[in-house]
Structure 1
Amino acid sequence: MSWDTISLERSDGVATITVDRPDSLNALNRGTMLALSEAIEEAENARVLVFTGAGEDSFVAGADIGFMQEIGTDEAQAYAELGHEIFRAIETHDAPAIAAVNGYAFGGGCELALACDFRVASENALLGQTEIDLGIVPGWGGTQRLSRLVGDAVARRMVLLGERLDADSAAEVGLVDEVVPQEDLERAVSELADELAEKPRFALAAAKEALNQVHEMPLSAGLEYEQRLWSGLFGTHDQREGMAAFVEKRDPEFE
């Protein structure tokens, strides 16, 4: 499939999805969101997902304000549902997802990064939930995922005051995992993606699924869930190969 504002590239199990609206700082309008959803479906069998934005100025500057300016409550509800559906698809995808934050990540752009498992930022990245200054609140998961990631105090400053964090500050509070020079971002993300792609895919999917349940289940239920995932991996090729390789002191060859 091809889209005007989204590109999808595959290499050795890694699917890179790029929001390609550099003239609009890669803002997400409805058409781009629908294309993004289709690209994620197209990447169903990928071992790793990478999300980034075209150019060096912006990851995703947010939802398209020009589009949102004229819509009413019903359209806003539909737009919110679309965003939640897409970001939940990233969060629950079998493949781990990496956000390569190469510039501005405001509003919906920050929420896109929050839906990913890893966030690697260039030194010129700037992140924020800036909706308050538009007279609205985060609508694609920002109030929920942000506080779970960085804690209540930081989340309240970002959401209620619209504070923006540079890359180093974002790393200090745990909003991003790693900060690298702009010219090294592609290499750093590629190395992380390649390392993840070499892991056993069913175990990786199970591990991600279990980690996602931390905020969904009480501890007792989460522990039982982990047991079922753990035992269900026994008898798979990757479990047998991984343990055989360990005993035989060689590198495993996972499917």
Structure 2
Amino acid sequence: MQDIETQITNGICWIWLNRPEVSNAARVQTVREMCRVLDDAEANPEVHALVLSHRHKHFLAGADFGLLQELKTFTPVQVRDEIYAHFQGAAKRLHLFSKPTVAALRGAAITVGCELTLACDFRLVTRSAVFHENWLRMGLLAPLGGMKALPALVGYGRAKEMMLLSKPVEGTEAVEIGLATRLLEEEGFEDVVHDFALELAAKPRLAYAAAKESLRRGLETSFDEGWALNLLAQNVLIGSSDYREGLSAALERRQPKFIGA
């Protein structure tokens, strides 16, 4: 890995963006590596949750300017196959990841960075965090899922402010408007993130994956379709060992031990 660091500890897969010389700006190499790690983590039964974070000051300060210069010479097919197959690929993998995902940031998440955080289940931030959908500055729009995810999180009006007025949102405000999940202190930041991820990792895996998919489909389908799909998923969960364990634990007043089966 050239642009990211990874580590699996206590069932949590950590991904740290690490290009300090460019404030972790993303190039194709960055998201290609991320796609590979996400595929491995999805398939690894020892991984129960994932944290996307960063080394150094900023989370991800947009696309690498070298890449932005190069884009001017690309054909539409090259943009689709050589660039966004990887950029959208990373965002799609995060969005569809069956296990819990957390974005943890203390600095700027600009354009690509902001989009990747929106693809995660939760966002943990400090006061120094900044979400900035600044695509219009380059004459572009947000192509990695933010156009759908952002209005769902903060409402249509605030999403228009962030997208069309390029309004940056800092950590405290992000929590207030529902863009971020929790506001943390700088000191002990990664320890608190680790504990939060451990809490998620202990959730019943089959039920978490089914609930996550149902929430996503709820944005895309009618009530009737949602009811039908959720009934099918619930029937599968009722037949699982996790359901029996959850019920036994509730009756015995103890913490459940889920196995994901």
Look up the equivalent residue of 2:207 and give its one-letter code. A
Match of 2:36 among 35, 38, 59: 38
Q: Is the 8 A contact 2:126 2:172 kept in 1?
A: no
Q: Normalising by the residue count of structure 1, what TM-score does the alignment of the two structures yield?
A: 0.94
Look up the equivalent residue of 2:23 and give its one-letter code. L
Matched, 1:84 2:88: yes
Which string of whole-angstrom CA distances, capped at 9 and with x for unpartnered residues, describes residues 43-100 of structure 1? 1232101001111x11111221321222134233332332222211111111011000
Give distance in 1, aligned partners of 2:6 and 2:254: 35
Look up the equivalent residue of 1:60 and give its one-letter code. L
Give distance in 2, aligned partners of 1:194 and 1:39: 19
Q: Is the 8 A contact 1:59 1:102 kept in 2?
A: yes
Matched, 1:47 2:44: no
Q: Is the 8 A contact 1:120 1:185 kept in 2?
A: no
Q: What count of residue pairs does the alignment treat as equivalent?
A: 252
Matched, 1:212 2:216: yes
Q: Equivalent residue of 1:217, what SS?
A: coil
Q: Equivalent residue of 1:43, what SS?
A: helix
Give distance in 1, aligned partners of 2:49 and 2:250: 24
Map 1:1-255; keep pairs closer than 5 Å: 3-44=1-42, 45=44, 46-55=47-56, 57-71=57-71, 72-74=74-76, 75-78=78-81, 79-255=83-259
Which string of whole-angstrom CA distances, capped at 9 and with x for unpartnered residues, describes residues 184-236 of structure 1? 32122111101011111111111111111111111111111111111111221
Q: Is the 8 A contact 2:28 2:87 kept in 1?
A: no
| 1:161 Cα deviation after fit | 1.3
Q: Is the 8 A contact 1:68 1:76 kept in 2?
A: no
Q: Is the 8 A contact 1:118 1:176 kept in 2?
A: yes
Q: Normalising by the residue count of structure 2, what TM-score does the alignment of the two structures yield?
A: 0.92
Structure 2, unaligned runs of 5 or more: none
Look up the equivalent residue of 2:55 and give its one-letter code. A
Q: Is the 8 A contact 1:130 1:162 kept in 2?
A: yes
Change (3 A) 1:73 1:147: farther
Which string of whole-angstrom CA distances, capped at 9 and with x for unpartnered residues, describes residues 105-142 of structure 1? 01000000000000001111111101111121112122
Give distance in 1, aligned partners of 2:121 and 2:50: 10
RMSD across aligned positions (CA): 1.3
Give distance in 1, aligned partners of 2:209 and 2:125: 24
Q: Is the 8 A contact 1:28 1:63 kept in 2?
A: yes
Q: Equivalent residue of 2:13, what SS?
A: strand
Structure 1, unaligned runs of 5 or more: none
Q: Is the 8 A contact 1:101 1:120 kept in 2?
A: yes
